[in-house]
Amino acid sequence: MNYSHDTIAAVSSPAGIGAVGLIRVSGEKAIDAVNTIFRGHDLHKATPRKALFGTIVNGGDTVDEVLVICFRSPASYTGEDLVEISCHGNPFILQQILTLLLQQVRMAEAGEFTQRAFLNNKMDLTRAEAVGDLLAATTRRAHFAAIQQMEGSLYDRIKGYLDRLTRIRSEVELEIDFVEQGLDEMDPSHLVADIRALQRDLQHLAATAEDGMIIKDGLKVSLVGAPNVGKSSIFNAMLQSERAIVTPIPGTTRDYLEEAISLDGYLLRLFDTAGLHTSDDAVEQIGISRSYDIISQSNLVLFITTNASWQPEYRSLATRIDQQKIIKVLNKADTFSPEELQLFAKEGFILCSTLAEDGLAQLKDELRRRVAVDDAEIADGMLNNSRQRAAVNRSIASLEKALTSAEAALGYEFTAFDLQEASRGLEEVIGHVSTDDILNQIFENFCVGK
């Protein structure tokens, strides 16, 4: 990505026809560039953040009637001079205006407006990532989590940990000076207690990553079982549509199907997998192999059966994945006697029927319980991507080294070094990154114009 101070422009409204379209221009020449094609006002004399009505012209021809708003540096989204042009939302009009601007400025790259906001200290990196999350949010909970992070929940939490770490580092470095001067050393038990308490809090933070990533990316739920146990029927019932083919013939599903639903504001990504069994059919073998790949990547696995002799199938599955991820489901519960249902219930099965009214109620309740995250936990600040989690884990590992050196009295110089490394891990979360590659990876998934 180009980090120069070039003036950039891009369409910021979605593709397609709409009532209003938006073009953004940011950089030192933003006002000059728009002023050359805008008639009705001199933008150099414009009051910042005041909408001005006029026309965009191409030579002597009118392109469109527009509203233009100028934002002066540093009081803008990017921290640079920025101009927003609101025109009619016709893609042809938007393209004409953008073409005129690109004679003077260059096209923005994906996420470059937000990247400039970060580089110009208009927001930290967690807030910049939250902008991308907000654009991609498809459920109420994902939207809420993105808003909380954009308002600074994670930044504030990390900043609090950094302040504590800075205080500990200051005490250690001061003690190094005291030792050099021949003064009494401090009791290391106080230092160890402080480091251990901070490490424990960071471990709690790292543990939020799984919930944060599920809220953002969705809970991956695989429907697994032998052929003809009704996986596709449950899949369709959850979707409330006939997405998967359902027949009495075993092996109808030969490849996995994926669909997403919202359950109480949480995104669930459902995978209907091929029936697990021994097969000589080459196509079925490929489908079963893909099923196991999906199962290994899932957050939860619904083990579905209609067979009283379910134990061998379950044991085979349990050898491949963590049993804590497995939810046992008895399908076609309406065909079993009360005594049989009681036996399954004692084994921890959720009773399910796609024919009975509200026959998925128990299953939905269990999924809600597994996916639910308190508003307070989200508002406290959560990690929600692999970059953040890896940086926090590096900080935790450095604190462990600091504890080792402090407890073994190896010398405060070693402890100070490890505490410094712990600080770097936390600083990376909020944006003190050392390479352009990291920034590229963060912003390249944004849309152009944001």
Sign of CA dihedral 241, 245, 251, 255: negative
Global pTM value: 0.82
6, two tokens: 């070039």
Query: What span, in angstroms and rounded, lies between the C-alpha atoms of 288 and 282?
Result: 10
- 184 burial via Cβ count (<10 Å: 0-12, 13-18, 19+): exposed
Q: What is the pLDDT of residue 287?
A: 57
CB 89: neighbour CB atoms within 10 A? 16
- Determine contact, residues 94/23, Cβ cutoff 8 Å: yes
Strand locations in 313-364, DSSP E? 326-330, 350-351
Residue 366 in this model has a pLDDT that exceeds 70:
yes
Which residue bears the tokens 């933008």?
43
Checking if the pLDDT of 89 tops 70, the result is yes
Residue pair 126/429 in contact by the 8 Å Cβ criterion: yes
Distance, in Å, from the CA atom of 434 to the CA atom of 428, rounded to the nearest integer, reads 8
Average pLDDT over the chain, rounded to an integer: 88
Neighbours of 233 (CB within 10 A): 20
Name the amino acid, one letter, at 266: Y
DSSP track, 29-91: THHHHHHTTEESS-GGGPPTT--EEEEEEETTEEEEEEEEEEE-TTSSSSSS-EEEEEEEE-H
Statement: residue 146 has pLDDT above 90: yes
Does residue 385 register a pLDDT over 50?
yes
- Tens of pLDDT, residue by residue over 167-178, are 999 888 887 766
Nearest to 149 by CA among 57, 212, 67: 212
pLDDT at 424: 94
The amino acid occupying position 139 is T
pLDDT over 60 (residue 403):
yes
Q: What is the pLDDT of residue 226?
A: 86
Side chain identity at residue 429, one-letter code: V
User: What's the mean pLDDT in 307-322?
Assistant: 89
Q: For the chain, how many residues are written?
A: 450
Q: How far apart are the first and last CA of the chain?
A: 14
pLDDT at 255: 58
Map out the domains of the chain with their CATH numbers. 8-124 (3.30.1360.120), 218-353 (3.40.50.300)
Grouping H, G, I as helix, E, B as strand and the rest as coil, residue 170 is helix
The one-letter amino acid code at 57 reads V
Q: What is the average per-residue pLDDT within 317-322?
A: 88
Q: Phi and psi at residue 90, in whole multiples of 5°?
A: -95, 120
Of these ranges, 294-298, 376-380, 412-416, 443-447, the one predicted with the greatest mean pLDDT is: 376-380
pLDDT for residue 188? 79
Tens digits of per-residue pLDDT, 191-238?
999 999 999 999 999 999 999 999 999 999 999 988 888 888 899 999
Question: Any alpha helices (H) in 109-187, and if so which ranges?
Answer: 112-119, 125-136, 140-150, 153-180
- Measured in whole angstroms, the distance separating CA 162 from the mean position of its chain's CA atoms is 23
Q: Tell me what the mean pLDDT of segment 67-78 comes to.
A: 97
- Please state, in angstroms and rounded to a whole number, the distance separating the CA atoms of residues 128 and 116: 10
Mean pLDDT of 110-123: 92
* Residue 297 CA neighbour count, 13 Å, CB half: 11
Sheet with 219-224: strands ordered across: 257-263, 266-272, 219-224, 300-305, 326-330, 350-351
Residue pair 199/399 in contact by the 8 Å Cβ criterion:
yes
Q: What is the share, in percent, of the chain residues with pLDDT greater than 90?
A: 68
| CA-closest candidate to residue 215, choices 131, 146, 123, 166 | 146
| pLDDT at residue 247 in the model | 42
Q: Phi and psi of 85, rounded to 5°?
A: -110, 115
Considering the chain, what percentage of its residues have pLDDT values greater than 70? 86
Res 56 pLDDT > 50: yes
Residue type, 370: R
